Amino acid sequence: MVKNIALLGSTGSIGIQTLEVIDGLGDGYKIVALAAGSNYKLLASQVKKYSPEIAALADESATNTFQEMIKGIPCHFEQGRSGQLLAACWPSAELVVLAQVGFSGFEPLLAALKSGKKVALANKESLVIGGEILQRSGLLDPDRILPIDSEHSAIKQSWTSRKPEEIARIYLTASGGPFYGMKSTDLHKVTPDDALKHPNWQMGPKITIDSATMMNKGLEVIEAKWLFNLDINQIKVVIHRQSIVHSMVEYIDGSILAQLGLPDMRAPIQFALTYPERKVSPVTAFSPYDTTLTFTEPDYVNFPCLNLAYRAANAGGTMPAVLNGANEVAVALFLAGKLAFTSIPDLIEKVMDLHDNIKEPVFSDVIEADCWARAKALDTGAMLRERKY
């Protein structure tokens, strides 16, 4: 039987690798919907190759050029935000791969879950911001959300128990990023180019900067809380420089189960696509011979973003949305050369300190908190800049 797939975020790093995995899997998988943000040229070539039933482009300014490029292809076209939502609940799709970056992924996630789809989720921000809302709505069904994030895929693969009380804690592994071992005095001087050189993983720019600040792991802690319905105190982070052990589950009898593999995003993508089955993959298997694996505690002092994420997770309500919104602005300012690397956590913390947290938020509350956090972060960023960071 053919598995019909809707892919949102098709022109980003995860989207491109998802198509590569689908190419490798062969006839059993069909792309029925493709959605992208602004890269209309790549989306057009993907539409020509995969002939989806619908193509959606969020950037409305490119609509005319894009439609001209796909002229003659029998494919429904929808622009703007409504196009993304339509692709997320496209009737013939049974699995929706959500691979957009940032908060824009939340509404499509909600739309896909509400319309009964299975979701392969690469967009962690939507769970960070909206996890509490999804849980209260009863939409966080672990059988329907398949994580593409490598750590969470590893937890899912190592989670053999059906009884939550058998789980003691989980360990999310972190490579430590390109600046592991550095102190804040040196971190102050690092450039976007330095930060974009991740030692192990090939990823998009936003997540690569988040890896360098450790905010990525912080967001993953919150993501794990919702995906696996854990208390925040049960989620630990461990630095593992080799990125071979992708995460671990510790059971109450002291046993730890882990998933190992070379760092290659195609592995968790394929696991999500073929779940519950496993199929042959182009990913090279890890060889355990002559290998040293190390595990150490994170440096919370020089990389304070991890603490900020724990603080937001403990506060709950709209605070995770504020953490995420302020972080997205801080990363953009850093990439534009307008903020020092060490000012990223300073900026986020200042915005969190100013926030009036709303408990048990509804959707409009998190939207407002997100907008508020972005505006406040831009103000605060300008202030930090005037002070020469």
- CA dist 202 and 166 (Å) reads 35
DSSP state of 286: P
Is residue 132 part of the contact set for Mg ion (CB under 5 A)? no
The window from 48-56, 73-81, 145-153, 259-267 that contacts Mg ion (CB under 5 A) reads: 145-153
Closest CB to Mg ion belongs to which residue?
149
* Identity of the residue, 50 or 171, whose beta carbon is nearer to Mg ion in the bound complex: 171
* Identity of the residue, 43 or 224, whose beta carbon is nearer to Mg ion in the bound complex: 224
Distance of closest approach, residue 360 Cβ to Mg ion, in angstroms: 28
Is residue 149 part of the contact set for Mg ion (CB under 5 A)? yes
The dihedral built from the CA positions of residue 230, 88, 318 and 125, taken in this order, carries a sign that is positive
* Identity of the residue, 78 or 149, whose beta carbon is nearer to Mg ion in the bound complex: 149
- CB-based burial label for 254 (10 Å; 0-12, 13-18, 19+): exposed
* Identity of the residue, 132 or 151, whose beta carbon is nearer to Mg ion in the bound complex: 151
Distance of closest approach, residue 95 Cβ to Mg ion, in angstroms: 20
Distance of closest approach, residue 263 Cβ to Mg ion, in angstroms: 10
Distance of closest approach, residue 150 Cβ to Mg ion, in angstroms: 5
Size of the site for Mg ion (CB under 5 A): 3
Each residue 151-180 as x (binds Mg ion by CB under 5 A) or -, in order, gives x-----------------------------
The window from 83-91, 149-157, 266-274, 365-373 that contacts Mg ion (CB under 5 A) reads: 149-157
Q: Give residue 152's identity as a one-letter amino acid code.
A: H
The window from 31-39, 128-136, 144-152, 310-318 that contacts Mg ion (CB under 5 A) reads: 144-152
Residues 241-280 close enough to bind Mg ion by CB under 5 A:
none
- The CB-based long-range contact list for 132-137 (8 Å cut-off, 24+ gap) reads 132/226, 132/316, 132/317, 132/320, 132/360, 132/361, 133/361, 133/362, 133/363, 133/366, 134/109, 134/110, 134/226, 135/226, 135/229, 136/360
Three-state secondary-structure class, residue 146: strand
**70 closest CA partner among 48, 42, 38:** 48
| 290 φ/ψ angles, rounded to the nearest 5 degrees | 50, 45
DSSP state of 181: T
Distance of closest approach, residue 133 Cβ to Mg ion, in angstroms: 22
Half-sphere exposure of 102 toward its Cβ, with a 13 Å CA cutoff? 16
* Identity of the residue, 53 or 210, whose beta carbon is nearer to Mg ion in the bound complex: 210
Distance of closest approach, residue 224 Cβ to Mg ion, in angstroms: 10
Is residue 125 part of the contact set for Mg ion (CB under 5 A)? no
- CA dist 250 and 72 (Å) reads 55
* Identity of the residue, 150 or 274, whose beta carbon is nearer to Mg ion in the bound complex: 150
The window from 142-150, 155-163, 270-278, 317-325 that contacts Mg ion (CB under 5 A) reads: 142-150
Three-state secondary-structure class, residue 361: coil
Residue 230's CB is within 10 A of a number of other CB atoms, namely: 17
Distance of closest approach, residue 134 Cβ to Mg ion, in angstroms: 19
* Identity of the residue, 151 or 349, whose beta carbon is nearer to Mg ion in the bound complex: 151
- CA dist 133 and 363 (Å) reads 7
The window from 55-63, 76-84, 141-149, 164-172 that contacts Mg ion (CB under 5 A) reads: 141-149
Residues 185-244 close enough to bind Mg ion by CB under 5 A:
none
* Identity of the residue, 172 or 366, whose beta carbon is nearer to Mg ion in the bound complex: 172
**115 closest CA partner among 142, 135, 94, 145:** 94
Question: Nearest 10 degrees: CA dihedral of 87, 92, 96, 99?
Answer: -40
- CA dist 323 and 344 (Å) reads 11
* Identity of the residue, 38 or 200, whose beta carbon is nearer to Mg ion in the bound complex: 200
Distance of closest approach, residue 153 Cβ to Mg ion, in angstroms: 9
- CA dist 165 and 345 (Å) reads 35
The window from 143-151, 154-162, 319-327, 339-347 that contacts Mg ion (CB under 5 A) reads: 143-151
List of residues contacting Mg ion (CB under 5 A): 149-151
